Amino acid sequence: MPCCRCNGSGSCRGCSCAKNGEICTNCLPLRRGQCRNTGPRDLPVATSPDHAESTAPGNALPQATSLVTSPEQPTQTLIGNTDRAGDPHETSDACAVASTADLLPPYTPLSTVDHAYRWGSADGPAICLKVNSCYEETVHWRRNVFSVPSGKAGKEFVAEMARLYLSYAEESQIESFALTAAMILPPLILQKPYRGSKARDHVKCVERRMQLWRDGDIDSLLHEGRAIQQRLGPYADNNTHDARTFANHMMNGKVKSAVRLLTSDPKGTPLPLDKVVSSSSGTDTVRNILHKKHPAGRPVTVSTLLPEDGAPQPTHPIVFESLTGHLIRATALRTEGAAGPSGIDALGWRRICTSFHDASRALCDAIAAVSR
């Protein structure tokens, strides 16, 4: 197994080995002669779960790399940075303390973000807290994003998406919340200001909102998006749509949007579990209906279990080198489907991955690096 998860374009300056005070011994950049982590380190190394605390102030928590050796002695993974006083047991409010499950396999902890990092007017822990809290709200917003406009404004948006994905792939300081920031960027920047807004209005919105994003003013963007969401009216009446509109949605993979044309539910939110609904067999609660649909338990099949004496063979990192930006672009052209947490559907991803020249190539390369 490789000693760290650096990819072929990395240099191991911020990898897990460097953070733990170790030198790389078996990584892909080392085999290619690009590893920068080959000299001695002065940082302390946690050699066991019982001695996983670091005495150096300001260091990342090395106990996050320790494993739970028994169910009787569970440990906690502290996701985040220590405070500037150097107490390894105190983390900032920006990064939560997550309890690990028993007997997790080995994993590399995410990089920490400290107060020295600046995102506009906000420091690292503050922007981490804002991004995570913003995601908890925007993920429930109704989809109201416009297509990324052409020109300079659209290129800046796509370039920022590429930067966030690359920050995770290269294990930068914002690695712990880079992907979350990439998910909230589209709903915050691409919110339609009003129904029927034009392309020129979208360009102005992107330029103004991207400046707020660069300044770290997530609160202003969130308040603006919240105001737009509150003013969204119900979906148009069914009689204003014809069969062609329904067919176009289905052909573009927008199944949810097509189904909305056939229903009177203005929000399309999940049903409460205790709501009583009618079915072919009578009336019952949503909870009971779901329980009936769940398959009954069956005895385990021996053929589906791994033998106790046979450890799985590690996968060589070279098999992932085929995940390139060119493959990501080709896959985006063949992908169809609705939007996920980011609010961008398959057509939107196809556009940002192919229509902005250097910015699109950088985005595809960054997504490939995350995949590797």
| pLDDT tens, the chain, 372 aa long | 678 877 656 678 778 787 777 888 878 777 777 787 776 544 333 344 444 333 333 333 333 333 333 333 333 333 333 333 444 344 444 343 344 445 666 777 887 888 889 998 889 899 999 999 999 999 999 889 999 999 999 999 999 999 999 999 998 889 999 999 999 999 999 999 998 899 999 999 999 999 999 999 999 999 999 999 998 866 544 455 578 888 887 887 777 778 777 765 555 567 788 889 887 778 889 898 889 888 888 888 888 877 766 666 778 889 999 999 999 999 999 988 878 899 998 889 999 999 999 999 999 999 999 999
The whole-angstrom separation of Cα 115 and Cα 39 is 28
Q: Tell me what pLDDT residue 145 has.
A: 93
Which residues have CB under 8 Å from 139's CB, separation 6+?
183, 341
- Please state at what angle helix 199-214 crosses helix 178-189, rounded to 10 degrees: 140
Measured in residues, the chain has a length of 372
Q: Tell me what pLDDT residue 20 has.
A: 78
- 176: which DSSP letter? G
Tokens of 245: 């509109």
Contacts 24+ apart (CB under 8 A), 41-44: 43/19
Q: Tell me what pLDDT residue 98 has.
A: 43
Angle at 359 between CA 355 and CA 362, to 5 degrees: 115
- 């009446």: which residue's tokens? 237
- 20: which DSSP letter? T
Contact 47, 140 (CB under 8 A): no
Q: Tell me what pLDDT residue 295 has.
A: 86
Q: Tell me what pLDDT residue 44 has.
A: 39
The domains of the chain are located at 1-43, 48-109, 118-235+320-371
If one counts every other C-beta atom within 10 angstroms of the C-beta of residue 105, the result is 5
Q: Tell me what pLDDT residue 312 has.
A: 66
Residue 289: closest CA among 272, 302, 301: 272
Q: Tell me what pLDDT residue 311 has.
A: 63
The whole-angstrom separation of Cα 254 and Cα 60 is 44
Q: Tell me what pLDDT residue 15 has.
A: 80
Amino acid occupying residue 36 = R
Q: Tell me what pLDDT residue 63 has.
A: 36
Q: Tell me what pLDDT residue 272 has.
A: 85
Residue 47: closest CA among 13, 24, 21: 21
Contact 191, 107 (CB under 8 A): no
